[in-house]
């Protein structure tokens, strides 16, 4: 890659990387289980500081007891804490869900609003969570800048921004809106499986030839293959 990449060349390279990642991860999707917008909103809030797998494990019990905002807002705190116990920070997360459910009832008749401005006004819901819900529950284009997306967008040279909102806008400008949701999944899946924070598997990376950060991790193919994960972290 040239040191001075033109804006047009950056767009072409970024879209090529996304196409290759789409071929590499044809099953890429949200790794949180959900059946409706309310469930996705709740499990996304719960996924902070824990893994998707742990959240998925408590999900059936949680929604069997509290299937909607009305039921969850009226939940017994100790019972809810018991369900969320395996996730860690369960007291804080219980408080978050009680406040979130109450706000949905008061402001939106218990329904999850399909609008970014409304979602980010809800307790415990930031822009990242809102975009997860919009993209995966409502099919509304949005970019999810989690730690993986931010790390990869910088390593790949899509942007130098470290602020999530600025990174969202900078990377979004490189792609058509219709691609935003799947782009998020592709980068997140690649970050979880190959382009790890501490030791990226550069020698086994399908987009290495288009990556300006190639060499940050082992480039020997045999070593790099040993770093690959077949699924997201437990």
Q: How far apart are alpha carbons 180 and 173 in whole angstroms?
A: 10
From 18, 52, 93, 128, active-site residue:
128
DSSP summary character for residue 113: P
Q: How far apart are alpha carbons 3 and 128 in whole angstroms?
A: 32
Give Cα 230 to chain centroid, integer Å: 18
Collapsed DSSP state (helix, strand, coil) of residue 1: coil
**Cβ-based neighbour number of residue 162 at 10 Å:** 9
By the 8 A CB rule, do 87 and 58 touch?
yes
Is 128 one of the catalytic residues? yes
Q: How far apart are alpha carbons 77 and 124 in whole angstroms?
A: 17
Is 146 one of the catalytic residues? yes
What does the radius of gyration of the chain's CA atoms come to, in whole angstroms? 19
From 52, 146, 163, 198, active-site residue:
146
Question: Distances from the Cα of 207 to the Cαs of 19, 31, 90, 214, in angstroms?
Answer: 10, 22, 39, 9
Give the angle 226-228-232 at the CA atoms, nearest 5°: 140
DSSP summary character for residue 16: H
Catalytically annotated residues: 128, 146
């Amino acid at each position: 890659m040239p040191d001075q990449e033109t804006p047009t060349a950056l767009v072409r390279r970024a879209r090529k990387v996304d196409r290759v990642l789409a071929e590499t991860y044809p099953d890429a999707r949200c790794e949180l289980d959900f059946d409706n917008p309310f469930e996705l909103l709740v499990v996304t809030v719960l996924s902070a500081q824990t893994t998707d797998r742990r959240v998925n494990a408590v999900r059936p019990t949680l929604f069997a007891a509290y299937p909607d905002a009305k039921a969850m807002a009226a939940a017994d705190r100790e019972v809810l804490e018991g369900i969320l116990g395996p996730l860690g920070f369960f007291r804080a997360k219980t408080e978050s869900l009680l406040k979130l459910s109450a706000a949905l009832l008061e402001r939106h008749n218990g329904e999850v609003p399909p609008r970014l401005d409304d979602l980010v006004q809800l307790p415990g819901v930031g822009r990242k969570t809102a975009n997860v819900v919009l993209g995966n529950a409502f099919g509304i284009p949005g970019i999810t800048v989690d730690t993986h997306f931010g790390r990869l967008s910088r390593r790949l040279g899509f942007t130098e921004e470290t602020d999530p909102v600025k990174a969202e806008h900078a990377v979004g400008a490189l792609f058509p809106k219709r691609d935003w949701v799947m782009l998020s999944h592709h980068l997140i899946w690649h970050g979880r499986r190959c382009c790890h924070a501490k030791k990226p598997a550069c020698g086994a990376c399908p987009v290495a030839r288009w990556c300006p950060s190639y060499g940050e991790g082992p480039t020997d193919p045999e070593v790099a293959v040993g770093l690959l994960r077949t699924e997201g972290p437990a």
